Chains A and B, each alone.
Chain A
């Protein structure tokens, strides 16, 4: 009796174990259960890869090969890694690199600082001697020469900084000419036909006329302001302060008008065009998926693959363009920061010695900000345009 009862229990437990094993999914079954999502992901990535390969990025690749920071980087691979999320930015090392750069540039300006300080101290000593045994005219000449010496040192340093600024603007213009055709192509392919038509003349105008306005008028005017700051204090008979004020006012108005008018115009037009594109595409998708009884959803899905793929690639290209912009603008920006810091420190150090040198250094530090404002205005307009192009088709999908 007990033996048969045990047999029954054993048989019951064995059947229960078999039943449980049959219900619990195995590894293979579990993998099979998630494979449709993985298959869809793979299909999408495959479509992205094909679209990327058919995109003409030769000009962008050639430009990248000229940059030391991006030498050896493949544009297609970089864009694909950005799309799949494999690319990441190391903020710690970036901050470290920025601080290192500022420190190195500051150290390179130390000899100039030493010269300025030495001349200012000598000038101060001679200033006190002017009231003693030196004649007034001789003292004035010595003062004049010391002011020229300090000015020569400052302007020599300034020329290097201004050269970096002009190079950055040339680099940005080149980037605009390369990146915007790619972005407009992808925008049109992702359903933003009207938006592409709106942005095309705007970006052409920006990369041509606006950059030319800044390089031909605004930035040279800011350079003249700096030069007038230097030469205006040389002689009591020839003053150029009011001319400097006039030029500063012209520079401020041009920067303000360009930013205000162009920025607002571009933003409003871009948004309205994107809304129209979004409504058009939604209408198309509704008609397609609503009217075809059997394959409607497949149809709209096929359209989505090209549109979504183009939109994703467009966003990646936009992000990459922002990195390129940052790489072009960061160095001159940091140079200006280091230069202005250097001038302020010199002005503070030479103030006790007396004379016009401290005021001159402080004035140059302030006036060089107009050049920096012009540079930042162009880079901001470029950045704004990229953001608008990237975000304008966000309302569609």
Chain B
């Protein structure tokens, strides 16, 4: 584009100068006509390039990547919140201590994938009762959170 502008300006300035200093009569008219043709040829140069297919590239090749580290931090924070809430729920409902591990997706909307619950069943005697409590907790957590719950 810069070359085109310089070429155009140069040709027109040259033609104007030549017109000024050219002699009168038929020679002067001939010179004037030739300078006009030259200016016209320079003016239509971009059209020739367009017909040849030499267009500026307007296609989009790159894309914007998300910040995976930030998504991971959000997922981690949400998981920590879930763990505290589930632990509080189990303690309030069943009076049991527990260790919770919640796994969420690392991309929005950070859906829950799995909840792992390690119960402290020291105060509960009897295998049947323990199994009953674990099953109830598992069903309740699965129903409320909508993801797989593993109770150990």
Q: Which of A263-298 contact B (CB under 8 A)?
A: 284, 291-292, 294-295, 298
Q: Using a CB-CB cutoff of 8 Å, which residues 210-227 of chain A contact chain B?
A: 212-213, 216-217, 220, 223-224, 227
> Chain A residues with Cβ under 8 A from B144's Cβ?
291-292
- The binding surface of chain A is classed by DSSP as helix
Q: Which residue of A lies closest to B80 (CB)?
A: A302
Partner-binding segment picked from A140-148, A319-327, A344-352, A354-362: A140-148
Beta-carbon contacts under 8 Å, A178-217 to B:
180-182, 184-186, 188-189, 191, 193, 196, 200, 203-205, 208-209, 212-213, 216-217
Docked pose: A189 CA to B35 CA in angstroms: 65
Report how far A243 CA is from B61 CA in the complex, Å: 34
Determine the distance from Cα of A189 to Cα of B76 in the docked complex, in whole angstroms: 12
Q: Size band of the A side of the interface?
A: 35 or more
State whether A235 and B12 are in contact (beta carbons under 8 Å apart), knowing that A56-B70, A137-B20, A208-B62 are contacts in the complex. Answer: yes
Closest to A189 in B: B74
Query: What A residues does B56 contact at CB under 8 A?
Result: 212-213, 216-217
**B19 at interface (Cβ–Cβ under 8 A)?**
yes
Q: Is the CB of B85 within 8 A of A298?
A: yes
CB contact under 8 A between A209 and B92, given known A191-B109, A235-B16, A302-B81: no
A305 to B85, CA, bound (A): 14
B66 touches A220 (CB 8 A): no
How many A-B pairs have beta carbons closer than 8 Å: the answer is: 146
Whether the Cβ atoms of B8 and A209 lie closer than 8 Å is no
For the complex with contacts A50-B73, A181-B67, 6 further pairs of A-B residues with Cβ separation under 8 Å are A144-B17, A144-B20, A205-B60, A212-B58, A224-B5, A306-B78
| Leading 9 A-B pairs by shortest Cβ distance | A302-B81, A235-B16, A54-B73, A216-B56, A231-B12, A234-B16, A220-B1, A185-B67, A188-B108
Chain A residues in contact with chain B, CB under 8 A?
47, 50-51, 54-56, 137, 140-141, 144, 148, 177, 180-182, 184-186, 188-189, 191, 193, 196, 200, 203-205, 208-209, 212-213, 216-217, 220, 223-224, 227-228, 230-232, 234-238, 240, 243, 284, 291-292, 294-295, 298-299, 302-303, 305-306, 310
